[in-house]
Amino acid sequence: MKIGRFVGAALAVCLLWGCEQKSTAGKVEDSVNDALDRRPAEGVQDAVEDAADATSDAAQKAADAAKEAARKAAEAVK
């Protein structure tokens, strides 16, 4: 059992060590590339962003519709 814990801990350390934090310069470069449409797979990334925006809008509309339906139901009970 101790070996399993050691292997698990070693694996976790290796995974965390492999994750790099982007520097400020890297973040600025990403922002500039995004603004100039120079990102890798620009079309795919734009499509994903558009889909995320549409999903967020649809969720907001559904929440608003549910609130309105609840309000009307409450008024009908009165």
Residue 31's Cβ-side half-sphere holds a number of Cα atoms within 13 Å equal to 7
51, part of any domain: yes
62, part of any domain: yes
8, part of any domain: no
Confidence (pLDDT) at 17: 58
**pLDDT tens sequence across 26-46:** 788 888 887 787 878 878 888
The answer to whether the pTM exceeds 0.75 is no
23, part of any domain: no
**What range defines the domain where residue 41 resides?**
28-78
Residue 19's Cβ-side half-sphere holds a number of Cα atoms within 13 Å equal to 5
How many domains does the chain contain in total? 1
48, part of any domain: yes
34, part of any domain: yes
5, part of any domain: no
